[in-house]
Amino acid sequence: MKPLKDIVVLDLTRVLAGPYCAMVLADYGCDVVKIEPPGEGDDSRAFGPFVGQESAYFMSLNRNKRSMTLNLKKQEARDLFKEMVKKADVVLENYRPGTMEKFGLGYDELKTVNPQIIYAACSGFGHTGPYAQKPGYDILAQAMGGIMSITGPEGGEPVRVGASIGDIIAGLFTAIGVLMALHHRTVTGEGQKIDVSMLDSQVAILENAIARYFVSGSAPKPLGTRHPSITPFDAFKSKDGSIIVGAGNDRLWEKLCDIIGCPELKADERFKSNSQRTQNFQELYPYLNDAFRAKTTAEWIIDLEAAGIPCGPINPIDKVVADPQVLCREMIVETDHPVAGPVKMAGVPIKMSATPGGVDKPAPTLGQHSAEILRELLGLKPEEIENLRKRQVL
């Protein structure tokens, strides 16, 4: 059994931030009704890579959802949507602020239809403030939100985080907002609007970078893989790849010196304490760089783990999806898509003892469930649905 199976979500979101939020809710049981424009559907149906004609990108983000089409440019479709809102718990949208109001479907309108509705908007910059109307993209959120400025090689140029965390973090905060609003509604009967922005979400995860700036007065910079205040806590080149090593205290440091065959470093005054090692890391690193080249990553992991020193490989994606721990935790799952066939994707990361989530259904084809949803939610008859199709409402 899934924990949210009593919750109906009308999901108008496209591409990534909103769909990621809706995916988390769907993975744990929400009936997510994905409402797409007829014809092309969610933009990301056209994003590669493809399996046959189907977007693997779209399929991995939209499993467990149902799809119906609705042409919101038509008044009849908007009226139908409002009827559906009466039967729903949550409306999700990630349009630019004001778009839902132009459709006559803004929160102020929808709450008159269903005062208990939870309306969650996930946008680039939020529904208030001078940038509200700017278009939101992952790379802009990463760039303007600061994380890019602290990610990159030491002394080098900033880089984008390789996954779209500008979108994904906003999606996660939106999911948290929906669940909190659900709790409040259960207690009080009151619905509300939730407004999450990609930019705000990036600021919320800057963590100690903000503290470091306000205390020191200078903006933190990229550090490559190096830890700012613990040394050695970094990636080093091995004979066949890389190895992450974290010697977080003097005891582990001394063990490390023995393991890498440099016992003389233990007595070296420049490297006695963690703060000395951090201060003098440029003098220390040539010894470590030389030493770690002597063995393979797998050999180092055996030696370092035996000594209790935190360590691990830098796994490329092919290694990640074949990792024994990742597989044991069912973090790679497969759906059987009616058109594309078997498609592998990430599993669900929240392991719940009483109400486990899971990936049960492949992503829907465009409008696959239009008739079934209209019958279930609104009791429409086949001929009524057929007429809606003919009038291009669906």
Which residues are identified as catalytic?
A: 167
The CA R_g of the chain, rounded to the nearest whole Å, is 26
The nearest distance, CB 192 to a copy of itself, in angstroms, is: 4
User: For a copy of itself, which residue of 128, 273, 289, 387 counts as binding (CB under 8 A)?
Assistant: 128
Q: Which of 39, 98, 156, 263 binds a copy of itself (CB under 8 A)?
A: 156
Task: Write the interaction track for a copy of itself spanning residues 243-272; mark x where CB under 8 A is met and - where it is not.
Answer: -x-x--------------------------
| Listed residue (314, 97, 79) closest to 197, CA to CA | 97
When asked if residue 115 is in the footprint of a copy of itself (CB under 8 A), the reply is no
Should residue 151 be labelled a site residue for a copy of itself when binding is judged by CB under 8 A?
yes
Which of 85, 148, 247, 259 contacts a copy of itself by CB under 8 A? 148
| Shortest separation between residue 292's beta carbon and a copy of itself, angstroms | 14
Q: How many amino acids of this chain bind a copy of itself (CB under 8 A)?
A: 142
CB of 363 to a copy of itself, least distance (A): 11
| CA pseudo-torsion sign 97, 135, 66, 393 | positive
Is residue 116 a contact residue for a copy of itself (CB under 8 A)?
no
Q: Which is nearer to a copy of itself, 6 or 258 (CB)?
A: 6
Residue numbers 341-370 binding a copy of itself by CB under 8 A: 343-355
Whole-number Å distance between alpha carbons of 7 and 90:
8
Q: Which residue has the tokens 């939101």?
A: 136
Distance CA 290, CA 236 (A): 9
Q: For the window 75-114, what string marks contact with a copy of itself as x by the rule CB under 8 A?
A: --------------------------------x-------
Identify which of residues 24 and 394 has a Cβ nearer to a copy of itself in the complex: 24
Which of 189, 264, 282, 325 is in the footprint of a copy of itself by CB under 8 A? 325
Considering only 32, 59, 373, 394, the residue that binds a copy of itself (CB under 8 A) is 59
Site for a copy of itself contains 282 (CB under 8 A): no
- Cβ neighbours of residue 251 closer than 8 Å, sequence gap 6 or more: none
Within residues 3-32, the interface with a copy of itself by CB under 8 A covers 3-4, 6-7, 16, 24, 28
Task: Indicate the residue among 83 and 109 with the shorter CB distance to a copy of itself.
Answer: 109
| Vertex 129: Cα angle to 125 and 132 (nearest 5) | 40
Contact positions with a copy of itself (CB under 8 A) in 214-233? 214-216, 218-227, 229, 233
Instruction: Kindly tell me which of 106 and 371 has the beta carbon lying closer to a copy of itself.
Output: 106
Q: Give whichever of 363 and 380 is closer to a copy of itself, judged by the CB atom.
A: 363
SS3 for 187?
Answer: helix
Among 183, 251, 270, 293, binds a copy of itself (CB under 8 A): 183
Could you tell me how far CA 155 lies from the centroid of its own chain?
Answer: 29
| Beta carbon nearer to a copy of itself, 4 or 388 | 4
Asked if residue 173 binds a copy of itself (CB under 8 A), the reply is: yes
CB of residue 23 to a copy of itself, shortest distance in Å: 10
Cα–Cα distance for residue pair 142/134, rounded to 1 Å? 15
60, 212 contact by CB (below 8 A)? no
Binding test (CB under 8 A) with a copy of itself, winner from 98, 112, 180, 249: 180
- 366 closest CA partner among 18, 48, 55: 55
Exposed/middle/buried for 87, CB within 10 Å: 0-12, 13-18, 19+? middle
- β-bridge pairing 50-51 and 54-55: antiparallel
SS3 labels along 10-76: EECCCCCHHHHHHHHHHHCCCEEEEEECCCCCCHHHHCCCEECCEEHHHHHHCCCCEEEECCCCCHH
**How far is the C-alpha of 77 from the C-alpha of 378, rounded, in Å?**
13
| Only segment of 73-81, 141-149, 369-377, 379-387 that touches a copy of itself (CB under 8 A) | 141-149
Residues 289-318 that bind a copy of itself (CB under 8 A): 305, 310-318
In DSSP terms, which residues pair with 121 in a beta bridge?
Answer: 93, 195
Strands 311-312, 332-337: pairing is unpaired
